[in-house]
């Protein structure tokens, strides 16, 4: 139980140190930036539904500006009134 809490705290610390000016994100950083689980991000990359590139042929990296554009493209327009 303690180990799980410690891992969660470490991930929360990563969120705090995520540099707002950083353009290239790791998988952990991209998941935090998008507000989704890391596993969900892996599924999106596996299905090639999200823009990413491979660093050294293995490590997934994400461009923050491309992620923002991808999010904008995923937007569903509201046709009714609020």
Provide the CA 61 distance to its chain's centre, in angstroms.
Answer: 10
- Among 10-19, 30-39, 45-54, 64-73, the range scoring the smallest mean pLDDT is 10-19
DSSP 10-29: HHHHHHHH--TT--EE-HHH
Output the pLDDT for position 76: 79
Output the pTM of the full model: 0.71
Mean pLDDT of 29-46: 96
Phi, psi of 61 (to 5 degrees): -135, 155
Domain range annotation of the chain: 23-74
Q: Minimal CA–CA distance to 32: which of 10, 47, 3, 53? A: 10
pLDDT at 44 over 60: yes
| pLDDT tops 70 at residue 63 | yes
Residue 53, phi-psi category: left (phi > 0), alpha (psi -120 to 50), beta (remainder): beta
pLDDT at 20: 76
């Amino acid at each position: 139980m303690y180990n799980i809490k410690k891992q969660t705290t470490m991930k929360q610390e990563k969120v705090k140190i995520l540099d707002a000016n950083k353009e290239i994100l790791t998988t952990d950083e991209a998941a935090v930036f998008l507000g989704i689980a890391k596993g969900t991000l892996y599924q999106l990359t596996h299905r090639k539904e999200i823009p990413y590139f491979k660093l050294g042929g293995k490590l997934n990296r994400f461009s923050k500006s491309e992620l923002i554009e991808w999010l904008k493209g995923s937007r569903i327009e509201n046709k009714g009134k609020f």
